[in-house]
């Protein structure tokens, strides 16, 4: 009895199930090879939009990120050339200085050592010269030995080199300036003191880390990277636009200063340096920046991304070839954005293509 009831329920369910609705014959989309014909009464027709394509001016914009840096020649880290104690500081952080301006003074015994080395080298060079001349005179009169003359000549040359080195060291120290036996360390470049760790009375070692930084930041570099495939669009001297999050509404421009000659194998990218004017010093080393490279414009066909269809490994659009008639047209594309696609072949100016509604034709056979 239970089996009879179950069978009755199944039969009743099947008999009550609605059949899958099919469009009326007069609304069916007809396919003829790569061409489709959409009847006037088909609801799909109302969901289709078309556009006549034309050549447009197109710029291939490349965007990357970078970090603001001080230009190396405009940046100096300063340490004491000798071990000694700081006796005086001449500047404070934020102060502008010229090349040669005094920064701090170190009382050091190093200068005395250099003076002694120079004095010793001077004496030794003098003695070696006298010995060399004496051997020359002996050989000239036939009582000297050639080998001893050559040894004297070699010794004299070596002593002259030692004297030159000692003299150079003494000149470097003297060029810094001295005050009551102390070494005055001076700024090597013009700029602003952006870091200052000097404390009067502290002892500095000659191998210690830099205690002061002077930088000229009226111009800065932005170090960024460009993908290998985009390198062909970038040249030295090209103008770029720069954005930093600190000043989102500010328009900043720069120029491509240098393109590296090698590719990073890990990222397949190339380092590019951008130089920017920074007269108000608002661009700070360490800031992140977004760089947009604008390439030369070209006239080409641009279509909406909504018009592009894809099947397997080829792309196509629906080309309008008559009233309510559309034909598949294979195309090739290049760069694409969120809204548009650059077409490199397959379409010509004046072609009319379907921009929306192509999805309804995917299953048409």
| DSSP character string of 216-243 | --SEEEEEEEEEGGGGGG--TT-EEEEE
Alpha carbons 212 and 195: distance in angstroms, whole number: 5
Q: Are residues 230 and 302 in the same domain?
A: no
Least confident residue range of 34-38, 169-173, 187-191, 229-233: 169-173
Which phi and psi (to 5°) does residue 258 adopt? -155, 140
pLDDT above 70 (res 17) = no
Could you identify the residue written with the tokens 């030295």? 236
Do 285 and 303 belong together in one domain? no
CATH number where 170 lies: 2.40.50.100
State the pLDDT at residue 138.
Answer: 86
Q: Which residue has the tokens 């002996």?
A: 138
The pLDDT confidence band at residue 10, using thresholds 50, 70 and 90, is very low
Which of 334, 309, 322, 278 lies closest to 58, judged by CA?
A: 334
CATH of the domain at 305: 2.40.420.20
Same domain, 316 and 245: no
How many domains in the chain? 3
Q: Are 30 and 40 in contact, with CB atoms under 8 Å apart?
A: no
The domain that contains 234 carries what CATH number?
A: 2.40.30.170
Share above pLDDT 90 across residues of the chain, in percent, rounded to a whole number: 46
- With 70 as the cut, is the pLDDT of residue 350 above it? yes
Predicted confidence band of residue 212 (pLDDT cuts 50, 70, 90): very high
Mean pLDDT of the chain: 85
CB atoms within 10 A of CB 235: 12
Query: Among the listed ranges 1-5, 104-108, 223-227, which one has the minimum average pLDDT value?
Result: 1-5
184 neighbors 80 (Cβ within 8 angstroms):
no
Please state the φ and ψ torsions of residue 105, each to the nearest 5 degrees: -115, 135
Residues 92 and 104 in one domain: yes
Q: What is the pLDDT of residue 21?
A: 54
**Tokens of residue 13, six digits:** 């369910």
**Residue 229 near residue 125, CB atoms below 8 Å:** no
Q: Return the HEC string of 19-33.
A: CCCCCCHHHCCEEEC
Host domain of residue 258: 63-73+215-294
DSSP H helices, the chain, are: 2-16, 110-140, 146-176
Per-residue model confidence (pLDDT) at position 277: 95
CA distance 104 to 91: 7
| Domain contains 9 | no
Closest to 91 (Cα-Cα) out of 214, 245, 230, 174: 214
246 occurs within a structural domain: yes
Q: Are 337 and 304 in contact (CB under 8 A)?
A: no
Please check whether residue 88 lies inside any domain of the structure.
yes
Task: Examine the fold and report which residue of 156, 187, 208 is the final residue of a domain before the chain moves on.
Answer: 208
Show which of 154, 173, 208 is a domain's final residue: 208
∠ CA 38-40-42, rounded to 5°: 65
pLDDT, mean of residues 207-223: 93
Q: Cα-Cα-Cα-Cα dihedral of 43, 46, 48, 53, to 10°?
A: 150
Does residue 183 share a domain with residue 90?
yes
**How far is 65 from 67, CA to CA, in rounded Å?**
7
pLDDT at 71: 95
Does residue 103 share a domain with residue 163?
yes
Is this model's pTM higher than 0.75 or not? no
Query: Any idea what DSSP says for residue 209?
Result: P
């Amino acid at each position: 009895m239970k089996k009879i009831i179950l069978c009755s329920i199944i039969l009743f369910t099947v008999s009550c199930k609605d059949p899958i609705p099919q469009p009326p014959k007069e609304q069916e989309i007809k396919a003829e090879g790569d061409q489709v014909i959409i009847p006037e009464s088909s609801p799909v027709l109302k969901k289709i939009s078309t556009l006549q394509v034309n050549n447009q001016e197109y710029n291939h914009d490349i965007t990357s990120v970078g970090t603001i840096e001080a230009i190396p020649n405009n940046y100096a880290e300063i340490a004491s050339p000798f071990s000694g104690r700081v006796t005086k500081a001449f500047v404070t952080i934020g102060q502008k200085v010229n090349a040669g301006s005094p920064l701090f003074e170190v009382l050091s015994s190093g200068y005395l050592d250099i003076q002694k080395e120079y004095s010793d080298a001077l004496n030794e060079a003098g003695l070696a010269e006298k010995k060399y001349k004496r051997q020359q005179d002996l050989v000239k009169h036939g009582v000297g030995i050639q080998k001893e003359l050559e040894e004297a000549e070699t010794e004299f040359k070596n002593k002259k080199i030692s004297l030159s080195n000692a003299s150079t060291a003494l000149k470097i120290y003297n060029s810094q300036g001295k005050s009551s036996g102390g070494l005055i360390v001076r700024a090597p470049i013009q700029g602003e003191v952006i870091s200052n760790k000097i404390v009067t009375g502290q002892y500095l070692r000659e191998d210690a880390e830099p205690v002061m930084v002077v930088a000229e930041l009226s111009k800065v570099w932005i170090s960024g990277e460009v993908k290998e495939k985009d390198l062909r669009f970038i040249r030295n001297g090209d103008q770029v636009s720069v954005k930093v999050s600190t000043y989102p509404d500010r328009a900043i421009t720069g120029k491509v200063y240098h393109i590296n000659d090698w590719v990073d194998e890990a990222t397949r990218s190339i380092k590019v340096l951008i130089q920017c004017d920074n007269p108000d010093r608002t661009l700070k080393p360490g800031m992140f920046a977004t760089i947009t490279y604008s390439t030369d414009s070209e006239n080409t066909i641009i279509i909406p991304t909504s018009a592009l269809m894809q099947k397997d490994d080829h792309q196509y659009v629906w080309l309008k070839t008559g009233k309510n008639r559309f034909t598949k047209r294979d195309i090739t594309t290049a760069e694409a954005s969120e809204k548009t696609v650059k077409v490199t072949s397959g379409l010509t100016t004046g072609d009319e293509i379907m921009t929306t509604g192509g999805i309804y034709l995917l299953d048409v056979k």
